[in-house]
Structures are given as C-alpha cells and as structure tokens.
C-alpha cells in the first residue's frame, strides 16, 4: 500500500501551521513588550493574569516583578507561604509596593518586618467596623 500526499494538501498544512502563533515565537518576545502589555491589564486581576502567562509560556521573559507589586492576602496560610518565599529573596521583597491583608496573624507581622519598600498598607480590621454597622 503506497501513501501519496498531494501537493495541495501539503501546502495547506504548511500555510495553516505558519499562520498560527506558537509558544516558540511568544517566548522570543522581549521582556519590555510583556511589560507594556501587562501595564494594560486591570489591577485586580493582574497577579493572576501574569501567573497564567508564566505558566502558559514558561520560557517567556515575563517580568516576575508584576507578581509581587500588589499583594493581597486573604488567608493565614498565604502569609506563611509568602513569608517563606520572601524571607531570603531580597529583590522580590523590593518589588512589593501595595500590600493588602484581610487576615491578621503573627506570620503577617513577621512578613511586614521584611518588606522595606511598602508604599501602601491596607488593613481590614473586620466586618463589624464597617461604617454601615456603626451604632450611634
């Protein structure tokens, strides 16, 4: 049994493959282009979007400082994990600019002690202190 491939089929396959973006091409983009693209992402999803980019295109030069610029912790385990990550990572500590905590533990106090360049600290004391729940 012989296998014949027509020239027109091969040409279509080549054209289709050439017109599709590939991860190989995306990981060759310069880091500055990724930063420019990331600067247009909404702040509330930026961290998740950058993380998804680094997972989808692992060899791409996506600047990791975007993962650490705005930190929002909701659970005590997150504070412990972040402290473990940043304890010996001087560069990454300096990337943190906005730090929001929705929980409070000793681990958070220790974490704040190693972040020298915080420009904003947002603390949620608890739901009972919301303006609409105040008793006059």
Say if residue 50 is exposed, middle or buried (CB neighbours under 10 Å; 0-12, 13-18, 19+).
buried
Query: How do the domains of the chain map onto residue ranges?
Result: 9-66, 69-136
The predicted-structure confidence for 105-132, as pLDDT tens digits, reads as follows 677 788 888 999 989 887 766 555 455 5
Quick check: 16 pLDDT over 60? no
Q: Output the average pLDDT for the chain.
A: 76
What percent of the chain has a predicted confidence (pLDDT) above 70? 71
Stated pTM of the model: 0.55
For 81-111, what is each residue's pLDDT tens digit? 999 999 998 899 999 998 887 766 677 788 8
* More confident of the two residues 17 and 113: 113
- pLDDT of residue 135 exceeding 70, the answer is no
Rounded to 5°, the CA angle 115-49-114 comes to 5
Is 14's pLDDT higher than 50?
no
């Amino acid at each position: 049994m012989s296998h014949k491939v027509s020239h027109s089929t091969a040409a279509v396959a080549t054209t289709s493959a050439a017109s599709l973006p590939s991860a190989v091409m995306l990981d060759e983009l310069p880091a500055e282009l990724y930063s420019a693209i990331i600067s247009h992402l909404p702040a509330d999803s930026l961290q998740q979007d950058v993380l998804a980019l680094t997972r989808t295109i692992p060899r791409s030069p996506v600047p990791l400082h975007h993962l650490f610029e705005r930190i929002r912790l909701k659970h005590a385990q997150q504070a412990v994990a972040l402290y473990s990550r940043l304890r010996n990572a001087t560069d990454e500590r300096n990337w943190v600019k906005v730090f929001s905590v929705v929980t409070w533990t000793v681990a958070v106090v220790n974490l704040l002690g190693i972040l020298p360049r915080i420009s904003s600290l947002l603390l949620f004391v608890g739901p009972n202190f919301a303006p609409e729940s105040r008793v006059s």
